Amino acid sequence: MLGRSAIRAAMLAMMLWGAAGSAARAEDGPETVHFAGPGGVQLTGYLFHPRGAPRRTPAIVMMHGRAGPYSSLAEGRYDASTLSQRHQAWGWHWADLGMAALLVDSFGPRGFPSGFPVHSYDERPDAVNEVTVRPLDAYAALAWLRGRADIDGGRVALQGWSNGGSATLATMADVTLRQQGRAPKDGFAGAVAFYPACGLHGAFEAGYKPYAPVRVFSGDADEEVSTKRCAALVQDSRAGGGDIAITIYPEATHDFDDPGRKRQGVAANVAARTDAVPRATDFMMKLLVAR
């Protein structure tokens, strides 16, 4: 069980969550870091530090979607100052709760800093594949965090959105972990995936089973991915003993947690975000803070 102080801190952070909360921290900015990725790629990350935290804190690795980690208004400047509102909001959200958050840029170091347009699945290069490559980025980030004296390497979870949500599911697959020569204790403590595409190129047709708890959040009016396919994947996985669950929000669209005006101008998205942020927070707090 969480202590009362942890619960109060979580509730306060949830009340402040969003663009206003990230704006209040904008003068600090996340730290830009670099670490070795798969195939000799030098990955870029943005580390959101918690304030006044104990020496060794839990951490969350964050995986961006197909549009990349930066704002659509970046205008060619791709750095910590042009991260999207959503990534800033979530990064500072976790930091305000005493957890470090590392946003991994999988696309920029490979020559695609502005990401990819909607419905471009068949046009994206294998170099950024969400099943075969991006999980390796996630594990590279995990290894880098575990090498830091200020991170509790036994308490690191994963979060992803859209294409990054698909990468999150692939990362958490027991078969992916085994391919890395790892045991569950060497992987992530758990994960949350927001509106992932769950086809995953047929990689888990024999069955999908995560090695640690996974929670999925989707909207049934998603215009980019199939929520029904995700519901089926979760159902089949649960039938096979997987610790995975999905929450589906009526009439919510893709990117329903984006704090920008466009997405939050949809009432169903406001309702979905209002419910999903506390649910994801409670899951992560129990997973990482209560341990």
Residue whose structure tokens are 């959040």: 217
pLDDT of residue 19: 44
Query: 257: closest CA among 247, 157, 74, 48?
Result: 247
Residues in the chain, total: 291
pLDDT of residue 291: 60
- Cα angle, residue 23 at apex, residues 20 and 29 outer, rounded to 5°: 145
DSSP string, the chain: ---HHHHHHHHHHHHHTTHHHHHHTTTT-PEEEEEE-GGG-EEEEEEEPPTT--SSEEEEEEE--TT-SB-TT-TT--SGGGB-HHHHHHHHHHHHTT-EEEEEESSGGGT-TT---TT-GGGS-GGG-TTTTHHHHHHHHHHHHHT-TTEEEEEEEEEEETHHHHHHHHHHBHHHHHHTT--GGGS-S-EEEES----GGGTTTT---BSS-EEEEEETT-SSS-HHHHHHHHHHHHHTT--EEEEEETT--TTTT--SHHHHTSHHHHHHHHHHHHHHHHHHIIIII--
Distance of alpha carbon 147 from alpha carbon 162, whole angstroms? 28
**163-172 vs 134-146: helix axis angle to the nearest 10?**
70
Distance of alpha carbon 94 from alpha carbon 55, whole angstroms? 16
Kind of pairing, strands 151-161 and 57-63?
parallel
Q: Which residues contact 55 (CB under 8 A, 6 or more apart)?
A: 149, 150
pLDDT of residue 204: 85
Q: What are phi and psi of 239, to 5 degrees?
A: -60, -30
What are 210's strand-pairing partners? 173
pLDDT along the chain (291 residues), means of 10: 46 47 60 96 97 83 97 92 96 95 98 91 90 96 97 97 97 91 91 95 84 98 96 95 98 97 96 97 93 60
Q: Give the Å distances, CA to CA, from 200 to 61, 62, 114, 131, 134.
A: 20, 19, 22, 7, 12
Query: 220: closest CA among 198, 263, 251?
Result: 251
